[in-house]
Chain A
Amino acid sequence: MSSVGITAYGGYIPRLRMSRKSIAQANVWVDPGLMAHAKSERSMCDYDEDTITMAVEAGRDCTRGMNRQNIESVFMASTTMPFDDRQNSTVVAEALGLKENIATLDVSHSQRAATSGLSAALKGISANGGETLFVASEQRQTKCATPKELLYGDAAAAITLGTGNLIARFLGANSINVDMVDHFRSKGARFDYEWEERWIREEGYFKIVPAAVKGVLEKTGIAPGSIDHFVLPCVIRGVRETLAKKMGMKPEAVRDNLMAGCGETGAAHSLVMLVDALQDAKPGEKLLVVGFGQGADALLFEATEKIGDLSPRKGIKGSLINGIIETNYQKFLSFKNLVPIEWGMRAESGARKTRMTAMYRDRKMFNSLVGGKCTQCGTIQFPKAHICVNPDCRAVDGMDDHCLAESKSRIASYTVDWLAYTPNPPLLFGMVEFDEGAKFMMQFTGCKPEEVEVGVPMEMVFRIKTDDKGLDFKNYFWKATPVVQN
């Protein structure tokens, strides 16, 4: 077996951070105990974000400075994918502008979707090679007034896997399957149903996780005491620390589970915590990643000397900063689609029936922000057209594809629109001019009215353009957001 492992990482946490205190205060009449969790903030998707858009952003962060055309396959793990039947990883692959002849696969249906998928992907590379992008993304949904509403968060993480230039070598994996229903969400249900926490701790984490870990340590001949980073998502107090002790690991190996500013991000969280750990890992350090849910997966990695050479990126640590704190619980509920807001008749015409044929014809334009570059005069333009927009050129049918998703741009004109329908009033939009030449009107997102002015540098983000309530369909497009300086 040739050496396989991780070649790069990336992360994405939505900029919106819901104040836990605000959630607790709104619900303390139901459960005074909620105040115990009323510290810091949890991440929340903006109204135009979901697991697909977060996966795209994590994927972009991960593939920074990399030739994306080398990617041979894309895996996406989540239990909250927007589509049950429309491959979500394909949308991610198109948004990232990957080539068409690659393999894509969605992995779902368990909190350990990411670790199980990762294990399978690594085995595939061991056998066949090829650069793989693995993303995990989760947008969690809970009922109101539960501790989980405070403890959970939304985020995505991505890693690329390959055989050369490894930043962390894959040492081995072990999986255990046990049909223990600690919680479940039946088909079509919106919320989880959970059994008693004490039982999950005693019969679940304390018995199943050690068995899975023991297996991988035996396979690889690694001693528990030499683990430097122990990644295990779990919101039950004390479980991770007790497990580390029970299994003979160093107490300091237990990774922070990112409750401050992020929260537990479900199926994505093992990967989110792994990326956070990789951002700290030194050459030679060993990382143990565990996913729990109807059994457990345990994967072991060792950081290489190349880990410090990775080009700068946000990862999880960079995504944690620059959050926008939200204290309006009603807005949080509305974004989670838990309260019916009267948006007026204007909202009815906001979403016109999506025509799949039209969307398909120009999918490069919508999914990948591909415009045109005139082969005669070089003018970059959006959309791509048959006849060049340059009045001094007008060349016919001579345009190459030109992607604008990573291009530099700035605001040329803007407004703050209180009349147009948006699930997050006011609607911000304006003309965006790209340094390369293209210029068109787009929505702005992820910013406040006072942040926009002519000349402000913007970057592109992949977001939900319209939630077509009639068809129960989401279509995606790119929006502009102010460049955040880290």
Chain B
Amino acid sequence: MASGIKDKVAILGMGCAKFGERYDCGPEDLVNEAFQECIKDAGIGTNDIQAAWCGNQYLTESTGLSATPLSVMLRLNNIPTTRVENMCCTGTEAFRGATYAVASGAVDIALAVGVEKLKDSGYGGLPGASMGPKDDLWWPGLSAPGAFAQLASAYRAKHKVSKEDLKKAIAHVSWKSHQNGVKNPKAHLQKAVSMEQIMAAPMIAEPLGLFDCCGVSDGSACAIVTTPEIARSLGKKDLVSVKALQLSNSNGLEMGHKSWDGSYFVTTRTAAKRAYQEAGIKNPREELSMFEVHDCFSITEFVTYEDLFISPEGGALKDVMDGFYDADGKIPCQIDGGLKCFGHPIGASGLRMIYEMYLQLLGRAGERQLKNPRFGLTHNLGGFPHRNVCGMSIIGRLES
């Protein structure tokens, strides 16, 4: 049996640009902002990097085909540089490429960059993307909030939850993230909002109102990874290592088979089981210190609590209302403000989540710092509940 990724790779440095409507920046500016912080943190030179992965979803919006633009903008030393795309898991996918390269022994030090420039599109939303000539002909021309909103009706039907109770719970999910975002200078939205504001906001896709949806932002984040041995040889004392890296893609069951009831993510449940096993976590509700989930919409975060086996099946509502996931709760979720406050520059999001977990593990999260965290989990969900890809990482302090 495969031995897994646990503790084979350490994070040498990370960086993250200020997220937001960065009309002042192109993708090269955003990448540079994140990269300069990252390489300084790593304490190495650009020529020490032996391979790089650049995550970027929209071909038409940021840097185009291949990762050569990344190599050009960072003046990489003609090293192998690859563009990766896996929808909303793109940032995590770039991190997976770099981590696996180091773990394989093919290279000593690798770079993962995620970037997305969304605010050149001309409007407030994600640019349209083709599903291919066949599926474009029959899939409903749905919006992202519309796709995810259906989780709510299916969840209500399954667990006999009233419209009002579920709306209040998902409003709390967004309220909590906004509270956290206030303390994060890199977040796009750094403003608290009241429950009343959230509940009364205009409807986007029933039952998701404006505040149930994450923002649209430009952003970039990156990581440099190496082996724990090399990290120590470079003078790093407190090490953060990768405990698990998982990816799970739909195989068509959701959109084609009666066994899926539409109220949860098949892939998240699969990836979570594999990730816990890889990381050696037996009881996530007891062992996880914090986590960042893909809160593209409040309802996504809500059902993900159960899909990660932290809340029991049907128990998310009680946990949310008990404040279990609030900053002062048992397992804070979205301590950095989440997609809710950072927006979702697709290629950057996964790495931005890992960045926050990394800061927290090293005690560098400033005002948001949690007490003595041990494991942090990140979760991305690309596509729709009906057909998607889930990416997951668990990182933690490397016990020597």
> A and B bound?
yes
Nearest neighbor of A363 in chain B, beta-carbon distance: B137
Q: Please tell me if the beta carbons of B150 and A431 are within 8 angstroms of each other in the complex.
A: yes
Given contacts A355-B133, A439-B258, A449-B206, contact A417 B138 (CB under 8 A): no
Interfacial residues of chain A within 422-451, with CB under 8 A of chain B in the complex: 422, 426-427, 429-431, 433, 437-443, 449
The interface stretch among B69-77, B120-128, B164-172 is: B120-128
Chain B residue at minimal CB-CB distance from A382: B256
Residue A200 CB within 8 A of the other chain? no
Cα–Cα, bound, A430→B139 (Å): 11
User: Is the CB–CB distance between A358 and B253 below 8 Å?
Assistant: no
Q: Determine if B253 and A391 form an interchain contact, defined as CB atoms under 8 angstroms apart.
A: yes
Question: Are B130 and A439 within 8 A (Cβ)?
Answer: no
Tally of A interface residues using CB under 8 Å: 56
A349 touches B137 (CB 8 A): no
Whether, in the assembled complex, B26 has its beta carbon less than 8 Å from a beta carbon of chain A, the answer is: no
Min Cβ gap B399→A in Å is: 39
Which of A344, A413, A443, A466 contacts B150 (CB under 8 A)? A413
Say yes or no: is A345 at the interface (Cβ < 8 Å to chain B). yes
20 contacting pairs across A/B (C-beta < 8 A):
A345-B122, A346-B125, A346-B143, A391-B257, A412-B262, A418-B205, A419-B205, A420-B141, A421-B141, A427-B146, A429-B142, A429-B146, A430-B153, A431-B150, A431-B386, A438-B256, A439-B255, A439-B258, A465-B138, A466-B141
In the bound assembly, the distance between CA atoms of A359 and B135 in angstroms comes to 10
Give the chain B neighbours of A455 by CB distance below 8 A. Answer: 157
Q: How far is the CB of B100 from chain A (nearest CB, A)?
A: 28
A417 in contact with B257 (CB, 8 Å): no
Query: Which parts of B142-175 form the interface with A (CB within 8 Å)?
Result: 142-147, 149-154, 156-157
How many angstroms between the C-alpha atoms of A344 and B125 in the bound complex?
11
* A381-B256, A382-B256 known; A415 vs B122 contact (CB < 8 Å): no
Chain B contacts of A366 at CB under 8 A?
A: 137-138
Determine whether A350 belongs to the interface, using a CB cutoff of 8 Å to chain B.
yes
State whether A412 touches B261 (Cβ < 8 A).
yes
Q: Does B140 contact A (CB under 8 A)?
A: yes
> Quick one: given A349-B127, A385-B252, A439-B256, are A416 and B137 in contact (CB under 8 Å)?
no
Contact A413 B262 (CB under 8 A): yes
What is the bound-complex CA distance between A440 and B256, given in angstroms?
Answer: 6
Q: Flag whether A268 is at the interface (Cβ < 8 A).
A: no
B136 within 8 A of A: yes
A357: which B residues are within 8 A, CB to CB?
Answer: 133
A-side contacts of B259, CB under 8 Å: 391
B140 near A443 with CB under 8 A, answer yes
Q: Count of A-B contacts with CB under 8 A?
A: 147
A197 and B33 CA atoms in complex are apart in Å by: 76
Tell me the complex Cα distance, A344–B123, Å.
8
Q: Cβ of B371 < 8 Å from any Cβ of A?
A: no
Total residues of chain B contacting the partner, CB 8 A: 48
Interface centre among A346, A354, A390, A466 (most CB of B within 10 A): A346
Interface membership of A352, Cβ < 8 A: yes
B166 vs chain A, min Cβ distance (A): 13
Contact between A414 and B127, CB atoms less than 8 A apart: no
Q: How far is the CA of A414 from the CA of B154 in the complex (A)?
A: 8
Known: A345-B123, A417-B149, A427-B141. 12 other contacts (CB 8 A): A346-B125, A348-B128, A355-B133, A381-B256, A413-B262, A415-B146, A415-B153, A417-B142, A429-B146, A441-B142, A455-B157, A465-B138
* Interface 0/1 of B306-344, CB less than 8 Å to A: 000000000000000000000000000000000000000
Cα separation A357 to B127 with both chains bound (whole Å): 25
> Given the complex, which residues of B lie within 8 Å of A442, measured CB to CB?
140
Residues A417 and B157 in contact in the complex (CB < 8 Å), given A352-B130, A440-B256, A475-B137: no
Q: Which of A's residues lie within 8 Å of B, judged by CB?
A: 344-346, 348-350, 352, 354-355, 357-359, 361-362, 365-366, 379, 381-383, 385, 389-391, 412-422, 426-427, 429-431, 433, 437-443, 449, 453-455, 465-466, 475, 477
Tell me, yes or no, whether B203 is within 8 Å of chain A by CB: yes
Given the interface contacts A389-B253, A439-B256, does A454 sit within 8 Å of B156 by beta carbon? yes
A437 lies within 8 A of B258 (CB): yes
Main secondary structure of the interface of A (DSSP, over half): mixed
How many whole Å from A384's CB to the nearest CB in chain B?
A: 10
Q: B262 to chain A: which residues have CB within 8 Å?
A: 412-413, 431
Nearest B residue (CB) for A438:
B256
User: A461 → chain B, closest Cβ, in Å?
Assistant: 14
Residues of B whose CB lies within 8 Å of any CB of A are 121-123, 125, 127-130, 133-134, 136-147, 149-154, 156-157, 202-206, 208, 252-253, 255-263, 386
A381-B257, A413-B150, A427-B141 known; A389 vs B156 contact (CB < 8 Å): no
**Structural contact, A358 and B157, CB atoms closer than 8 A:** no
Residues of A contacting B151 in the complex (Cβ-Cβ under 8 angstroms) = 413
Report the minimal beta-carbon distance from A454 to chain B, rounded to whole angstroms. 4
Bound Cα distance from A357 to B139, whole angstroms: 18
| Cross-interface CB contact of B128 among A350, A359, A412, A475, cutoff 8 Å | A350
- Residues B123 and A414 in contact, CB atoms below 8 Å apart: no
Least Cβ–Cβ distance between A410 and chain B, in angstroms: 11
- Say how far A408's CB is from chain B's closest CB, in angstroms: 14
The complex places the Cα of A437 from the Cα of B145 at a distance, in Å, of: 27
Question: Shortest beta-carbon distance, B132 to chain A, in Å?
Answer: 8
Output the nearest chain B residue to A359 by Cβ-Cβ distance.
Answer: B137
Which residues of A lie under 8 Å from residue B133 when comparing CB positions? 355, 357-358
In the bound assembly, the distance between CA atoms of A355 and B140 in angstroms comes to 17
Q: Is the CB of B134 within 8 A of A441?
A: no
- Complex: how many Å from CA A179 to CA B5? 85
B298, chain A: closest CB distance, angstroms: 14
User: Contact partner of B153 among A350, A355, A362, A413, CB < 8 A?
Assistant: A413
Closest chain B residue to A354, Cβ basis:
B137
Q: With A and B bound together, what is the CA distance between A449 and B206 in angstroms? A: 9
**A480 nearest in chain B by CB position:** B140
Nearest A-chain residue to B155, judged by Cβ: A413
CA distance A361 to B152 in the complex (A): 36
**A416-B203, A429-B142 known; A465-B137 Cβ under 8 A:** yes
Closest residue of A by beta carbon distance from B134:
A358
Q: Report chain B residues within 8 Å CB of A354.
A: 137
Assess the B157–A415 pair: CB atoms within 8 A.
no
User: What's the least CB distance linking A230 to chain B, in Å?
Assistant: 46
Minimal beta-carbon separation of B90 from chain A (angstroms): 20
Residues of A within 8 A of B153 (CB): 413-415, 430, 453-454
A420 and B206 contact, CB distance less than 8 A: no
Q: Which of A365, A379, A385, A430 contacts B138 (CB 8 A)?
A: A365
Point out the residues of chain B lying under 8 angstroms from A449, CB to CB.
206
Q: Within 8 Å CB of B252, what residues of A? A: 385, 389
Residue pair B256, A430 in contact (C-beta under 8 Å):
no
- A349–B128 alpha-carbon span in the complex (Å): 5
With known contacts A352-B130, A359-B137, A412-B261, A419–B146 Cβ distance under 8 A: yes
- List chain B residues, Cβ under 8 A from A346: 123, 125, 128, 143
